[in-house]
Amino acid sequence: MIKRILQTFSLVLAGLFCAFPSLAETASGDETSLLCLNIGKADCMLLTHQNHHYLIDTGYAHTWPALQTALSQAGITRLDGVFLTHCHEDHDGALLSLAESGIAVDAWYAPPFSIEAEDMSLHPAVLAAGRRGQEVIWLSSGMTVSAGENAVFTVLGPLRLNTENENNNSLVMTFSCSRGRILLTGDMKEEEAADLMAAGLFSPCDLLKVSHHGDNKTISKAILAAIRPKAAVILTDTRQEPDTPAPSILKMLSQAGCQTVVSQDVHDAVRFTLTDKTIDVEDVRWNGIPERTAALQLSISTGDDTVTIRNTGSVPVSLKDYVLFSTKGNETLTLSDAELPPGGRRVIGSLSTKGGADETWPDKKIWNKKKRDVAILYDNWGRPVASADNGITD
C-alpha cells in the first residue's frame, strides 16, 4: 500500500518512513492543513488554519473512536465549526457522539436541501446542535464563512434540491487562504457537478477532495480542466466498495498531472499541509496507540446467518469494544469482552441461527442472501481491520 503511494505521489511525502510524531507535536500553530482519516468508506476531515479548527463530516457512528483519537492527538478541545455535507450515515454518523462529547463547537453548518431528512427538525445537524442548545447555520451558494486572517470558506453548492439522490444535495465549497485553495466536494455526483460547472463556479485549486469515494461518476475532464488540482485525496475502502476508487478516475487524475492519495493506503490518516502554494504530505500514525492487527480474518455463512472471526496470528487478540458492521443492512454489533487465542475462532450468529454460536446479534437476519453484503470488523479505535463478503456479486 505504501508502495502505491510512492508510485503515485511525487509531491513531498514528509515523514513517510520516519518516526510518527503526534499531531500536536507536528502542529506549529501557524499552519494550513487537511487531515483525512482512514476509517473505511466514510468521510471525516479536520481542516486547520493557524489556530482555527474545522471538521468536515464525522464518519460513521462506529468510527467515532477514530475521530476522538484524531482530536486528542491534535490537542483540540474546541472546534470553530462543524460542516455536514449531506445526510448519509458515512458522513453524519458520529455527529451525536461529538455533540455529547466534551469538545466545544462554536458553529454547526449544513446545506439547506435534503431528501433524507424530510422533517428538517430531525436533520442530523439539527439534532446534534440541539444537544448543545445551538442552531444550525444553513449554507447556500454564494455564502462565506470566515476562517481567520485572510482565510474563507466559500459555498458553491448545492444550487437546488435534487429529489433523486441525496449525494447531489452535498455541500460543495472552497477553502481559500494565502497558502492555497482546497475544493471540498462531499459526495457530489455528475448532476450537481454539471450544475456548478454550468454556473461557472469551478476555479483552480491546489488540493481536491474527490467526491463520492472516487466512483466513476464523480468528476469529468472538463471539471478537471477548470480546477487544475495539484493533488487529490480519495476517501474510500475497496473492501466495502469494490468499484472505488474507479480506475478511470485514477487514470483521469494522473493524466491531468494530479497526484492522488487514497485513504485506505495510509496508516491512520493522511495529512496535507499547504505551504506557499506547495503541498507536503504525511502518512500519519497515531502516537502511543497499537498498530492495527492484521491477524484477524472473517468469513460469512449465509446458510446459518453467521460470521466467524479467526485469529491467524501468534498472540491473543482482545475483541473488547470491537464492532461488526453489515454494509447492506447498515447494522452494527459491539462485541462482548472476549479474547481470541492464537488459532482461535468466535462465531457470531443471529436470532435465526440454528446450532451453536458464541455470541448472538440481536436481529432476526443479518447477512443478505440475494445481494452483495460485506462484513467489516472495526477495532476499538474505530479502524477497519478485517472484512469478508457473502460471495454474491450484484
DSSP assignment of 309-330 equals EEE-SSS-EE-TT-EEEETTTT
What share of the chain in percent tops pLDDT 70? 92
pLDDT at position 29 is 62
pLDDT at position 159 is 98
pLDDT at position 360 is 96
pLDDT at position 356 is 84
Region 17-44: mean pLDDT is 73
What pLDDT band is residue 149 in, cutting at 50, 70 and 90?
Answer: confident
CA 191 to chain centre: 22
pLDDT at position 13 is 40
The pLDDT of residue 57 is above 50: yes
Region 168-185: mean pLDDT is 97
| DSSP H or E stretch at residue 33 | strand 32-37
pLDDT tens digits for 364-380?
999 999 999 999 999 99
The pLDDT of residue 81 is above 70: yes
pLDDT at position 10 is 36
Answer left, alpha or beta for residue 59, where phi above 0 means left and psi between -120 and 50 means alpha.
left
Residue 310 in contact with residue 300, Cβ under 8 Å?
Answer: no
What share of the chain in percent tops pLDDT 90? 88
CB-side neighbour CA atoms (13 Å) of 273: 18
Three-state DSSP class for 275?
A: strand
The pLDDT of residue 293 is above 50: yes
DSSP assignment of 97-123 equals HHHTSS-EES-EEE-S--SS-SSGGG-
Region 173-199: mean pLDDT is 97
Region 330-358: mean pLDDT is 95
What pLDDT band is residue 102 in, cutting at 50, 70 and 90?
Answer: very high
The pLDDT of residue 7 is above 90: no
Q: What structural domains does the chain harbor?
A: 2-284 (3.60.15.10), 296-389 (2.60.40.1260)
Region 268-274: mean pLDDT is 97
The pLDDT of residue 18 is above 80: no
Report how many helices (DSSP H) and strands (DSSP E) the chain contains, helices first: 9, 28
**Distances from the Cα of 69 to the Cαs of 30, 37, 72, 161, in angstroms?**
22, 10, 5, 35
Any idea which of 9-23, 26-40, 251-265, 330-344 has the lowest mean pLDDT? 9-23
The pLDDT of residue 35 is above 60: yes
pLDDT at position 355 is 82
CA distance 141 to 155: 5
pLDDT tens digits for 213-224?
999 988 999 999
Checking DSSP bridges between strand 345-350 and strand 359-361, what pairing results, if any? parallel
pLDDT tens digits for 130-141?
999 999 999 999
What pLDDT band is residue 287 in, cutting at 50, 70 and 90?
Answer: very high
CA distance 129 to 387: 34
By the 10 Å C-beta count (0-12 exposed, 13-18 middle, 19+ buried), 310 is classed as middle
What pLDDT band is residue 278 in, cutting at 50, 70 and 90?
Answer: confident
**Distances from the Cα of 365 to the Cαs of 302, 321, 345, 369, 387, in angstroms?**
10, 22, 21, 10, 19
The pLDDT of residue 16 is above 50: no
The pLDDT of residue 28 is above 90: no
Mean pLDDT of the chain: 92
CA distance 111 to 155: 9
Residue 96 in contact with residue 72, Cβ under 8 Å?
Answer: no
C-alpha cell at 22: 503526534
Region 330-354: mean pLDDT is 96
Q: Where are the alpha helices (DSSP H) in 171-278?
A: 190-198, 221-227, 247-255
pLDDT at position 393 is 84
Region 350-369: mean pLDDT is 94
The pLDDT of residue 25 is above 90: no
